[in-house]
Structure 1
Amino acid sequence: MRILYAIGSWGLGHAARSLPVLEALQADGHDLTVISSGRALLMLRRELGDRCEFLDWPHFPHTVGRSAAALYARTAVALPAMLRVMTWERQATRTLLRRRRFDRIVSDNRYGVQDPAVPSFHVTNNVRFLAPGRVAVLEWALEAFNYAWFRGLRRVIVPDTPEDALAGDLAHRLRIFPSRLLAYVGLLSPVRARDTGQDLDVFITISGPEPQRSLLERLVRSQLASIPGKVVVTRGRPEGSDVERVGAVDVHDFLGRKHQEEMMNRARVIIGRPGFSTLTSVAEVERKAVFIPTPGQTEQQYLAAFHHARGAIYAAPQARARLADAIDAAVQRSGLTARVKTAEAVRRVVELIRAG
């Protein structure tokens, strides 16, 4: 089959969790055309090389705010641009389909890349967006917005289990979506658990859109000397390939998936943003974690608080994060685990796409 696979560009998370699915589809003999942009597209090119055709399409802006009021204001300002890009994506998809035949369309955070004439799927952990302050009426409207865009799809693929292992209210306790539209497949992580031994005390993975990526890096660098043991840092910049030695710490511009997998398996504690891709990777390797949510990013703040309250991880607000103390607290927590891991989840996704 010829498959059009579109991937969002908010940080690297959507691209990272798409990689095992893309590779499985390639192994299944399908011809892939991949849409993305920015650092996500750069990472996909590095990982997949010339095995896919790539299209560089713009993505809608990612809004964050330091408070609920700031997020509301910035989202209101950005909303017309978001809708324009989503509408443009839909029109560009139709134009592409007039020129070329595709048998399936899969999208991960690219709302406009779908078409009623081609069996279409959307991968998301955000079946419902959470409103700052958890305003019930607004969250109902946000879920209704998603359903309006997704109701023509064959399935919405949710990288979680029906038992609510990871996503919480983002994908569970829904009020509008019919269950027949949702396929809970399990974890989709770019890394796999390996028996490497845990000879690394702390692995710090920095990620996300600017300027918050740089702010987290500044925080980490300012406290590296206070973290005991063996520490490795990745800056999440796929455009770079340098390794800097800071005291006894190796700071990598970027780690490819295999090296990232190695570090996560070797580490006793992982520090990073609680983006859903990082969350699933920590659950895949079943490690302890310190999560520092992006200020003003409602999803990350919710996920960090949700799993902190469950006793699984330690959540540290960026403004008050003391990494050495947070590591000590995280070691006392249970860590993240998963019932259905990536290998089985990928098999389920490929079967859904193949069945159409």
Structure 2
Amino acid sequence: MSSNKRILVAPLNWGLGHATRCIPIIHALKRRGFSPIIASDGAALQLLNKEFPELISLELPSYNIEYSKKGKDFKLKLIKDSPRIIKTIKTEKKAVKQLIEEYNISGIISDNRFGVYNKSVPSIFITHQLKVLSGNTTWFSTKLHEKIIKKFNECWVPDQKGEFNLSGKLGHVDSTIIKTKYIGPLSRFEKKKLPKKYDLMVLLSGPEPQRSILETKLLKLLKDYNGTVLFVKGVVEASITEEKQGLMKIINYLTTQELEEAFNTSDLILSRSGYTTLMDLAKLDKKAFFIPTPGQFEQEYLAERLHKLNIAPSCNQDDFTLEKLNLVSDFKGLSNFEYELNYKKLFSLF
């Protein structure tokens, strides 16, 4: 056991996926006698505060990454924002150095936060992207990412190593100078046999303004849907709000327990093709339809890959119609990997 060593767990606040996939890791740290400390900003920090009100939680500088209204402009916007992001990473590094001293931290787990590491304590970086897709600059963004990850002691990839995997070429590269461990898909959910409540569950997530653009489009289209719908906006607020529109129930967000029940009582899931969502749906053996975030190469690749593998259909945001949901019956759906993670071995670094 660890005699209550404090481990800083810091997910990136970009959509909710980085925060939610840290939930099983935080639970595992607690079970093994560590004292996790949460550090993030914005909705990610808010969500983890609600999940773990008993833990110390600290605010880190915000990267403030926003999407462009047009997906094709996203790369340009990111390049334009990069001086500010680099400045934030430097501020983050200083903040982490202070936190280590102030809270006597023995280890760090950073989910995609580039500045959350320190040479004085073992530092882990979690990512499913050893290859960072960015169109014709993929080689450059991958090299840049590799350079950042090298500053950490280990890189944990939440996927399986072999041919049967979820992340495809994103998490599997021919050679890498990074010390990599494949830890299997991470999900906070369990599959349960529950009676069906909803024909369709819509789960939105991701940065603005694209989350809102898709919300507006789907709410309009779903007025003509013939079936029961649970519409989860993916907006973390002070309290859960709920409204009804015919056979559709609209909710701002759900806690882990409520979301687990919602998934297990829904026939079909309509969502973004974010990697955390894929891991969750695989764990729950769900059928899904994906609409990747416009301009996000990673989500577009994952959706396309699952479509080609006949696992789940997808289309781009502008082309989506309700009729496209009928395609789902011709696809296999996602399935569980039955992967057992040895947390004792994994946490031995601390």
**TM-score when scaled to structure 1?**
0.91
Q: Distance in 2 between matches of 1:67 and 1:236?
A: 21
Residues 196-228 of structure 1: CA distance to partner in whole angstroms, max 9, x if unpaired?
244421111111111111111111110112222
RMSD over aligned Cα atoms: 1.8
Map of 1:15-30 to 2, 5 A cutoff? 15-30=19-34
Q: Which residue in the other structure is 1:7 paired with?
A: 11
| 1:352 equivalenced with 2:350 (yes/no) | no
Deviation, 1:326, is 2.2
Q: Distance in 2 between matches of 1:253 and 1:75?
A: 28
Q: 1:78 aligns with which of 60, 78, 81?
A: 81
Q: Distance in 2 between matches of 1:100 and 1:245?
A: 46
Q: Which residue in the other structure is 1:98 paired with?
A: 101
| 1:143 equivalenced with 2:164 (yes/no) | no
Which consecutive unaligned segments of at least 5 residues does structure 2 have?
Answer: none
C-alpha contact 1:16 1:190 (8 A) present in aligned 2: yes
C-alpha contact 1:205 1:272 (8 A) present in aligned 2: yes
Q: Distance in 2 between matches of 1:117 and 1:276?
A: 31
Q: Which moved more, 1:117-126 or 1:189-198?
A: 189-198
C-alpha contact 2:60 2:95 (8 A) present in aligned 1: no
C-alpha contact 2:66 2:208 (8 A) present in aligned 1: no
| 1:227 equivalenced with 2:225 (yes/no) | yes
Give the SS at the match of 1:35: strand
**What amino acid does structure 2 have at the position aligned with 1:212?**
Q
| 1:309 equivalenced with 2:308 (yes/no) | yes
Q: Distance in 2 between matches of 1:209 and 1:267?
A: 25
**What amino acid does structure 1 have at the position aligned with 2:76?**
A
Change (3 A) 1:350 1:314: farther
Q: Which residue in the other structure is 1:216 paired with?
A: 214
**What amino acid does structure 1 have at the position aligned with 2:217?**
L
Q: Which residue in the other structure is 2:335 paired with?
A: 337
Amino-acid identity (%): 29
Q: Which residue in the other structure is 1:167 paired with?
A: 167
Residues 315-349 of structure 1: CA distance to partner in whole angstroms, max 9, x if unpaired?
121111013x22210122011113244xx24xx34
Map of 1:1-356 to 2, 5 A cutoff? 1-50=5-54, 52-65=55-68, 70-132=73-135, 135=136, 138-164=137-163, 165-178=165-178, 181-239=179-237, 240-323=239-322, 325-341=323-339, 344-345=340-341, 348-349=342-343, 351-356=345-350
Give the SS at the match of 1:254: coil
**TM-score when scaled to structure 2?**
0.93
C-alpha contact 2:128 2:170 (8 A) present in aligned 1: yes
Q: Distance in 2 between matches of 1:36 and 1:161?
A: 27
